[in-house]
A = this chain, B = another copy of it.
Amino acid sequence: MSVRVGVIGGGQLARMMIPAAVNLGLEIRVLAENEGSSAQLAATQVGDYHDPQTVLEFASTVDVVTFDHEHVPESILRQLVARGHAVHPGPDALQFAQDKIRMRQRLGELGVAMPEWAAVTSEDELAEFLEAHGGEAVLKTARGGYDGKGVRVIRDAAEAADWLRILDEDANGGALLVEELVDFRRELAQLVARRPSGQVALWPVVETVQRGGVCSEVFAPAPGASERLAQVAASIATLIAEELGVTGVLAVELFETTDDRLLVNELAMRPHNSGHWSLDGSLTSQFEQHLRAVLDLPLGATDVRAPWSVMVNVLGGPDSGSLTDTYGAALADQPTVKVHTYGKAPRPGRKVGHVTAVSDDLDDAVFRARSVAALLGSDL
């Protein structure tokens, strides 16, 4: 009988695990939030991942549980583990992806370089941090943020009133995370996969371009990255994966500062937008590697298939109709570019697909990938 991998969450990350599961001969089962999810093809159950019974029921139908997102409540994850289910990444690791303040604390203990930060619970504490950091800072909710949600730049403590009030009402002792506004040259991401038994594999560090807090483009490897920079990024990601006990794919988002330091921005413990290029640009994609890792199978080689891979997200697109309206024109224009669509209805700014161009020449790959994304109607 095939090994059954269960994925909680029916988004595009679960969807993109399907081809890898088909190739590897695994059975993939998805607990989706609703009918018609991106991962519909593999959805064996529809339900609310906040409900312990739903998640326990799903877990009993698979050999290992993994995730499309990091939002399953920690208490439910701990119940799964207590009942003997294999959960990768497990709650001991996931807590640091779920709570940015815990993440900052833990990375601090490990001596990892980060933006200066503080946990604040009042406008006074926030004002103090602002004063000490040039009058501006990045404010983040500790939990639940993604794609720029739960993140804002503030210049006055009063701007945090609404979030502080919610924390207050929650009465859960929560705090907001405030961080210095880093003077960075660009953003990078280092992906690593780690098996429960310890093997790790890394892809080259990549450059990520964000627009409005959402990943827009990825260049792999990061153009002009020195060997030293690549080594530092790899060692930071390896340290975090090992010390936090991450299993599966870990994405470490980094700032490359104008004074040549690498600071850890965010962590994601799952396949990540910054690794989508690997579907076409690496011998082993992040999705295949994630499945291998969570099953504790030997990891695949992460060699690049071409000197350069450029991934461009397809965001939003025309309000009416699906990608297929403009599909033919895009495919005809760039027959070498690989198109990935997520089966999602377009909304302004929503990630509905991505395209990847590989090439011996970076500019050529950038041009071709951007052309297709534009023809597909991306809100670039």
Contacts and interface: CB of A to CB of B under 8 A. Distances in A.
Nearest to A334: B301
Contact of A2 (B284, B305, B343): B343
A194 to B, nearest CB: 15
Contacts of A298: 328, 331-332, 335
A322 B298 CA distance: 17
A298 to B, nearest CB: 4
Interface string A175-200: 00000000000000000000000000
A1 interface: yes
Interface string A301-342: 101011000000000000000111001100110011011111
Q: Indicate how many identical chains form the complex.
A: 2
A343 B301 CA distance: 23
A292 to B, nearest CB: 7
Interface residues of A, number: 44
Most chain-B Cβ atoms within 10 A of its Cβ — which of A16, A297, A342? A297
Contacts of A272: none
Contacts of A342: 25
A335 to B, nearest CB: 4
Contacts of A306: 305
B22 A339 contact: no
Interface string A15-27: 1101100111101
A132 interface: no
A185 B1 CA distance: 42
B18 A353 contact: no
